């Protein structure tokens, strides 16, 4: 019975990840590409997705009750993420659009319950397996859907010819492919024999699909994450090399950024890109101007881009309609103000420290997974977002909550091992020659 329940829980977790990724909505089949008129007929899958979402929330709540003791101690060890969720919930008190905020808060609460369940129920290694399976299915669905419906899977709007699979936008697919590429590399390092070949092939497929999506930001995520992984590994195995490597890295990045600053426009035009990052920088400046009007607590969760918020002023300023600033930190400042940004920044910093400790004390290569994800998460939120709610928040929450317990347990095991080793040495040295 326990085995069947464990299997059902595992299947539920994988399905929940697929659901929140939005790939099961098959939006590319029902809505036009970017730059083209959207379909006037709403997707028949949307009501099903909505009902299923709340079913996932209900199941997550029930499972949390079943594991309430573990859940309690998991949250107590690291309460900051849930304090941030609480602030988001309280934003209904000052929101400029109460109904929109309530809807966003309800979704955030539901997905936070699921993320907390993952942290309480599974180890970091177990979460890695679940996420790997979900990402594997996303890659396979992308290939299968595009092969059967190339007219939908290949963009025919502004980004004509780019692979988008079942997603509405190629950047959405690009994010999941970049995360898959990084995660599959971890699986390659942790596997042997046929299993290693399996993950190697999947990693190559993910990279090819990523190239076909033409998502520059996703490619940058993979490159910078693998570069950071090399840095993390050096730090782990020889802490003495940390300072010189860190300084060399800063010097190299400083040189690159200095060069780009003087040649940025010429470089991006040569690459066929927009110097304003597809209009993102214009959006950022316009949103920041509005943040100054409500800097402390923001406009309320999800309310900034509603019709009752300052969205219309932003749209007039930038000349087109958008539903986000394409920067997770700016969006958070707009919704929850400096209070929300400060809470998340502190949470992220403490989680990163724990992830570094975990990578140093654990002997398995998979211990680098939290560091890899935090790097992906940080880079992705520079040009996309949002931070709260959805796929990226679930993984961040589960990793952040799990690390505190994982580090404490590993330290106890190491301490016990050292005590036993020291005791053996004491006994052996007390015996005369």
Contact 332, 386 (CB under 8 A): yes
- Bond prior to 28 in cis (omega within 30° of 0): no
Residue 276 has pLDDT above 50, yes or no: no
| Mean pLDDT of all residues in 66-74 | 92
pTM: 0.86
Lowest pLDDT segment from 139-143, 192-196, 202-206, 359-363: 359-363
Which two structure tokens, joined as six digits, stand for 317? 């300023």
Distance, first Cα to last Cα, the chain: 58
Which two structure tokens, joined as six digits, stand for 347? 């949470």
Mean model confidence pLDDT for the chain: 81
Residue 218 has pLDDT above 90, yes or no: no
Using CA atoms, how far apart are residues 117 and 397, in angstroms rounded to an integer? 10
Nearest to 127 by CA among 413, 433, 330, 373: 373
Model confidence pLDDT, tens digit, residues 232-260: 666 655 555 554 554 455 445 444 544 44
Using CA atoms, how far apart are residues 404 and 409, in angstroms rounded to an integer? 9
pLDDT at res. 111:
96
* Three-state DSSP class for residue 42: coil
Model confidence pLDDT, tens digit, residues 381-401: 877 778 888 899 999 999 999
Q: How confident is the model at residue 76 (pLDDT cuts 50, 70, 90)?
A: very high
């Amino acid at each position: 019975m326990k085995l069947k329940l464990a299997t059902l829980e595992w299947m539920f977790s994988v399905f929940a990840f697929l659901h929140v990724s939005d790939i099961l909505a098959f939006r590319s089949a029902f809505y036009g590409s970017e730059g083209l008129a959207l379909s006037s007929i709403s997707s028949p899958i949307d009501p099903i997705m909505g009902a299923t979402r709340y079913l996932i929330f209900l199941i997550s709540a029930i499972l949390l009750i079943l594991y309430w003791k573990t859940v309690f101690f998991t949250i107590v060890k690291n309460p900051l993420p849930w304090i941030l969720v609480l602030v988001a919930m309280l934003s209904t008190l000052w929101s400029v659009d109460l109904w929109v905020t309530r809807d966003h808060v309800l979704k955030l609460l539901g997905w936070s319950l699921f993320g907390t369940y993952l942290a309480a129920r599974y180890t970091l290694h177990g979460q890695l397996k679940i996420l790997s399976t979900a990402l594997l299915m996303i890659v396979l669905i992308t290939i299968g859907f595009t092969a059967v419906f190339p007219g939908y899977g290949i963009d025919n709007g502004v980004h004509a010819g780019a692979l988008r699979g079942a997603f509405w936008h190629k950047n959405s697919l690009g994010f999941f492919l970049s995360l898959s590429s990084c995660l599959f590399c971890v699986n390659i390092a942790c596997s042997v024999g046929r299993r290693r070949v399996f993950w190697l092939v999947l990693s190559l497929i993910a990279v090819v699909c990523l190239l076909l999506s033409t998502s520059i930001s996703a490619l940058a995520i993979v490159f910078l994450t693998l570069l950071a992984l090399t840095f993390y590994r050096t730090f782990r195995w020889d802490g003495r090399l940390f300072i010189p490597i860190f300084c060399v890295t800063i010097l190299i990045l400083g040189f690159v950024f200095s060069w780009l600053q003087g040649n940025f426009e010429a470089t991006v035009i040569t690459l066929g890109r927009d110097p304003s990052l597809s209009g993102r920088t214009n959006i950022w400046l316009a949103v920041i101007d509005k943040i100054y009007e409500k800097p402390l607590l923001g406009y309320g969760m999800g309310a900034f881009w509603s019709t009752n918020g300052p969205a219309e002023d932003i749209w007039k300023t930038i000349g087109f309609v958008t539903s986000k600033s394409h920067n997770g930190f700016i969006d958070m400042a707009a919704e929850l103000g400096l209070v929300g940004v400060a809470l998340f920044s502190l949470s992220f910093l403490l989680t990163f420290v724990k992830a570094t400790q975990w990578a140093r004390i654990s002997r398995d290569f998979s211990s680098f997974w939290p560091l890899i994800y935090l790097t992906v998460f940080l880079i992705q939120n520079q040009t996309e977002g949002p931070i709260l709610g959805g796929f990226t928040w679930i993984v961040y929450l589960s990793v952040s909550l799990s690390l505190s317990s994982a580090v404490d347990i590993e330290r106890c095991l190491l301490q016990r091992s050292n005590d036993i080793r020291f005791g053996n040495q004491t006994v052996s040295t007390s015996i005369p020659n």
